[in-house]
Amino acid sequence: MSTVFEDISQNLQKGKMAEVKVFVQQAIDEGISPQDILDNGLMAGMDVIGQRFKNNDIFIPEVLIAARAMSVGTDMLRPLLVSANVKSKGTVVIGTIKDDLHDIGKNLVRMMMESKGLNVIDIGTDVAPEKYVEAAIENNADVIACSALLTTTMVHIKDVVASIANSSIAGKVKLMVGGAPINADFCESVGADYYTPDAPTAAAKALEICALAHA
Amino acid sequence: MTGKQLILDVLQGKTVERCPWVPYTGSQIANLKGYTAEEIFKSADKLLECLIEAEEQYTPDGMPPIFDLQVEAEILGCDLTWYKNTPPTVCTHPLSGSELVIPTQRLEKTDGRIPLNLDVMRRFKAAKPDVAMYGLVCGPFTLASHLRGTNIFMDMYDNEEGVKALVNYCADVVADLAKFYIEAGCDIIAAVDPLVSQISPDMFETFLSEPYSRLFASIKEQGVPSSFFVCGDATKNIEPMCKTAPGCIAIDENVDIVEAKKVTDKYGITMSGNLQLTITMLLGTQQDNQKEAIELMEKMGTHLFILAPGCDVPFDAPAANLIGVGQAVHNREAVKKALENYTAKDNLPEIDLPDYESLDHVLVEVVSIDSKTCAACGYMVKAANDAQAICGDVKVEVVERSIMYPENISFMNKIELKNVPSIVINGEIKHVSLIPTVEQLREEIVLASQK
């Protein structure tokens, strides 16, 4: 039996772009479907990375190089997935809250979400509340994800809650929040839908929300 | 013994009479005088005014005059975005291009906001010589990320030598600033490096061990102790940090401080931390803060430990919370007794409030822990007495209501007062935690007499 899934996963975890490229091509040549290569090779590798990051076994540099290796693989698969008419598992709009320029955490969450097969629209840093809503409407998003690193900026999350409540997507889109100073109590107090403490958990929760929305 | 000596003794490994307290006050102190964060970081006079007030209100043993990790980055070409309620943030990275070119610029005393900081340090030192003055510099790794941007994380794999050179350069720059701060009177130099929690111990040893060891050794050679500040879950890096030989390691609530101290104790290094910034200091009550401070002090003891917030105090953290921690440090037993009274709310005695409407005089009630043992309470009582003395013909009675007595907790509950020390004039809560000027109080008393 071919070990190509394991080869892809292992090399992705080590951030080895060239090797990931070779083994993804091998899998394609073996006639494996692009969806299987994505799920059992690339995403399987990123799942391990996510779990190890959550457990504090690895840190940001290791996650970033793994995500970079993953993108090499997904770039190869994308045209094949499109021609096979594979649909995205859901759409997330993500950005850091107004006045907050700290985007390391947000970028990690984006990568983890992408590695779960979600379509992620990154609207950057210092995002005004109405911009989240505009992007969500434009992209027919299932989830809006806001991050804040500062105690002084996290208070703006309640403005995003209000913007959603006053929009045409109220009740349709779910608001996820995260970042160093935020916790479940704060999430509840401002009326956001979900708080997750780290990037892998955020990605899993977003996937769960999207699966429910598309059920 | 002065607060400064207490801290220096702890850093020398001595067991001390009580736990020292260092509130990492930064932009938060702007609130004490109604300024914005930007105003105090750009005006020596305003910053100094707030520092003097903070020292009197928060009763610290040590404090940093400036908590702003962008000073070096701004000089080296990063653009800053300024805010009303937080320190500035770096918004551009001059070395973010594809090729990593190591700069050669070193800091001069005349660069950027350094002259302002040195001026404030000299004046604060002269005004408050008994307080240990912390000079805060940006940690070399965080400074490197300010310059390079988040590319630095990829560079750690793709360009190991480049990152080593950049971090070493940043360590040299930071050492320049540390030297200036020491010359301006700083008693301790702290390198604040929040990004340290984002890399593995292997990466730490590869990229940071050597520059940090060098930095701390150079500070020590100047006869000054050092501190290594980190934010986030730095649990796995505590031991590598110890090996760089700082005098102290400062952590936030993401690290189990009891476990971390077992590691720092092995190296004879002081541990500092880790009052919860959001849950307790920003969102909690004064009593929550006192309870957490007492629990921490009792857990950590009086050897190789300094009580402090996990990091820079949030801008909106109420002054009452920091005042409350100061009370718990200086009057632990009295505060414990008061907290017991709070928690025994159901058993508190029923009381009748004075008949404020029918008084033939102005009644000034100072609600305190105990003015004999609590410095802030003593200042509050003194302000009331001094105001009474200059009220001329107005008949004034000043009463201290110490919450060491359960009936005064009942009093607080009945008038819905949350924090002490406070001043109530004819039943109206006038001042909570912040001590008014005598003139302001006199005016309020005269006004109350005319009603």
Per-residue pLDDT tens for B136-154? Answer: 999 999 999 999 988 898 8
Residue B344 — pLDDT band, cuts 50, 70, 90? low
pLDDT of res. B180: 98
Across the range B224-249, mean pLDDT stands at 95
CATH of the domain at A137: 3.40.50.280
3-state secondary structure B23-80: CCCCHHHHHHHCCCHHHHHHCHHHHHHHHHHHHHHHCCCEECCCCCCCHHHHHCCCCE
**Cβ-defined contact of A56 to B236 (cutoff 8 Å):** yes
Question: Is B343 touching A (CB cutoff 8 A)?
Answer: no
B378 against B357, higher pLDDT: B357
- Torsion sign over Cα B252, B258, B264, B270: positive
Across the range B324-332, mean pLDDT stands at 94
**Cβ-defined contact of B200 to A104 (cutoff 8 Å):** no
Question: In chain A, which residues have their Cβ closer than 8 Å to the Cβ of B150?
Answer: 103-104, 107
Least confident among B227-231, B261-265, B373-377: B373-377
User: Chain B, 175-214: which have a CB under 8 Å from a chain A CB?
Assistant: 198-200, 203
**Rounded mean pLDDT of chain B?**
92
Give CATH 3.40.30.10 domain extents, chain B. 356-450
pLDDT of res. B339: 87
User: Chain A, 92-121: which have a CB under 8 Å from a chain B CB?
Assistant: 99, 101-104, 107
Question: Is B420 touching A (CB cutoff 8 A)?
Answer: no
Tokens of B31: 């609130």
End-to-end CA gap in chain B? 47
Cβ atoms of residues B339 and B412 within 8 Å: no
User: Chain A, 139-158: which have a CB under 8 Å from a chain B CB?
Assistant: 150-153
- Which residue in chain B is spatially nearest to A99 when comparing CA positions? B83
Across the range B203-223, mean pLDDT stands at 97
Alpha-carbon span A122 to A92, nearest angstrom = 8
Across the range B313-318, mean pLDDT stands at 89
pLDDT of res. B29: 96
CB atoms inside a 10 Å sphere around CB A158: 15
- Give the CA radius of gyration of chain B: 24
A16 against B409, higher pLDDT: A16
pLDDT of res. B373: 64
**Cβ-defined contact of B157 to A65 (cutoff 8 Å):** yes
What is the total count of domains within chain A? 2
Instruction: Return the closest-CA partner of residue B240 out of B271, B196, B270.
Output: B196
CB atoms inside a 10 Å sphere around CB B49: 17
Across the range A82-94, mean pLDDT stands at 84
Containing B243, the helix (H) or strand (E) segment is helix B238-243
Residue B23 — pLDDT band, cuts 50, 70, 90? very high
Question: Where is mean pLDDT largest: A64-78, B117-131, B384-398?
Answer: B117-131
Residue A111 — pLDDT band, cuts 50, 70, 90? confident
**Rounded mean pLDDT of chain A?**
90
Given A83, A114, A137, which residue is the final one in a domain? A83
Least confident among A147-161, B193-207, B302-316: A147-161
- Residue B169 CB contacts under 8 Å (≥ 6 apart), including other chains: B102, B103, B144
Alpha-carbon span B246 to B213, nearest angstrom = 8
pLDDT of res. B340: 84
- Residue B187 CB contacts under 8 Å (≥ 6 apart), including other chains: B4, B7, B8, B62, B132, B133, B134, B224, B225
pLDDT at B300 over 90: yes
pLDDT at B345 over 70: no
Q: Which of A61, A151, A185 sits opposite B277 (nearest CB)?
A: A151
Q: What phi, psi does B217 have (nearest 5°)?
A: -65, -40
Alpha-carbon span A46 to A20, nearest angstrom = 12
**Cβ-defined contact of A68 to B154 (cutoff 8 Å):** yes
How big is the A-B interface in CB pairs under 8 Å? 62
Q: How deeply is A3 buried, as exposed, middle or buried, from its count of CB atoms within 10 A (0-12, 13-18, 19+)?
A: exposed
Whether A168 and A208 share a structural domain = yes
Given A83, A113, A131, which residue is the final one in a domain? A83
pLDDT at A82 over 80: no
Give CATH 3.20.20.210 domain extents, chain B. 3-330
Tokens of B97: 């291009």
Indicate the fold that domain B356-450 takes in CATH.
Answer: Glutaredoxin (3.40.30)
Residue A1 — pLDDT band, cuts 50, 70, 90? low
Whether A39 and A79 share a structural domain = yes
pLDDT of res. B82: 92
User: Chain A, 165-204: which have a CB under 8 Å from a chain B CB?
Assistant: 180-183, 185-186
- Give the CA radius of gyration of chain A: 18
Question: Is A162 touching B (CB cutoff 8 A)?
Answer: no
Alpha-carbon span B426 to B259, nearest angstrom = 51
Residue B379 — pLDDT band, cuts 50, 70, 90? confident
Among all chains, which residue has been given the structure tokens 């299932």? A142
pLDDT at B343 over 80: no
Question: Is B314 touching A (CB cutoff 8 A)?
Answer: yes
pLDDT at B17 over 60: yes
In the chain, the amino acid numbered B358 is S
- Residue B210 CB contacts under 8 Å (≥ 6 apart), including other chains: B168
Strand-pairing partners, residue B250, are B229, B272
Whether A97 and A170 share a structural domain = yes
Whether A48 and A117 share a structural domain = no
pLDDT at A186 over 80: yes
pLDDT of res. B368: 86
In the chain, the amino acid numbered A92 is V
Strand A194-195 and strand B62-63: the pairing is unpaired
Structural domain containing residue A145: 91-213
Cβ atoms of residues B94 and B76 within 8 Å: yes
Region of residue B136 (left: phi > 0; alpha: psi -120 to 50; beta: else): beta
Nearest CA of chain A to the CA of B422: how many Å?
27
Whether A52 and A97 share a structural domain = no
Whether A96 and A67 share a structural domain = no
Q: Which of A56, A59, A102 sits opposite B203 (nearest CB)?
A: A59
Whether A108 and A195 share a structural domain = yes
CATH no. for B3-330: 3.20.20.210
pLDDT of res. B346: 65
- Which residue in chain B is spatially nearest to A105 when comparing CA positions? B198
For residue B421, cis peptide bond before it (omega within 30 degrees of 0): yes
3-state secondary structure chain A: CCCHHHHHHHHHHCCCHHHHHHHHHHHHHCCCCHHHHHHHHHHHHHHHHHHHHHCCCCCHHHHHHHHHHHHHHHHHHHHHHHHCCCCCCCEEEEEEECCCCCCHHHHHHHHHHHHCCCEEEECCCCECHHHHHHHHHHCCCCEEEEECCCCCCHHHHHHHHHHHHCCCCCCCCEEEEECCCCCHHHHHHHCCCEECCCHHHHHHHHHHHHHHHCC
pLDDT of res. A108: 85
CATH of the domain at A27: 1.10.1240.10
Question: In chain B, which residues have their Cβ closer than 8 Å to the Cβ of A177?
Answer: none
pLDDT of res. B293: 97
Across the range B91-120, mean pLDDT stands at 95
Instruction: Return the closest-CA partner of residue B122 out of B133, B112, B107, B113.
Output: B133
- Tell me how far CA of residue B440 lies from CA of A64, B362, B387, B388, B443, in angstroms: 58, 15, 8, 12, 5
Q: Which of A64, A68, A152 sits opposite B315 (nearest CB)?
A: A152
pLDDT at A48 over 70: yes
Whether A125 and A50 share a structural domain = no
Alpha-carbon span A177 to A160, nearest angstrom = 10
Whether A100 and A193 share a structural domain = yes
Question: Is B59 touching A (CB cutoff 8 A)?
Answer: no
pLDDT single digits (tens) B422-442: 899 999 999 887 778 889 999
CB atoms inside a 10 Å sphere around CB B350: 7
Question: In chain A, which residues have their Cβ closer than 8 Å to the Cβ of B146?
Answer: none
pLDDT of res. B171: 98
Across the range B293-312, mean pLDDT stands at 95
pLDDT single digits (tens) B382-412: 889 999 999 988 999 999 998 878 888 889 8
Alpha-carbon span B271 to B250, nearest angstrom = 6
pLDDT of res. B404: 74
In the chain, the amino acid numbered B82 is W
- Which residue in chain A is spatially nearest to B233 when comparing CA positions? A56
Alpha-carbon span B389 to B393, nearest angstrom = 10
Question: In chain B, which residues have their Cβ closer than 8 Å to the Cβ of A72?
Answer: none
- Residue B424 CB contacts under 8 Å (≥ 6 apart), including other chains: B364, B365, B366, B367, B415, B417, B430
Question: Is B2 touching A (CB cutoff 8 A)?
Answer: no
Least confident among B12-21, B201-210, B367-376: B367-376
pLDDT of res. B279: 76
Whether A145 and A66 share a structural domain = no
Given A30, A65, A83, which residue is the final one in a domain? A83
Residues in chain B: 451
SS3 B330: helix
Whether A79 and A96 share a structural domain = no
Strand-pairing partners, residue B363, are B397
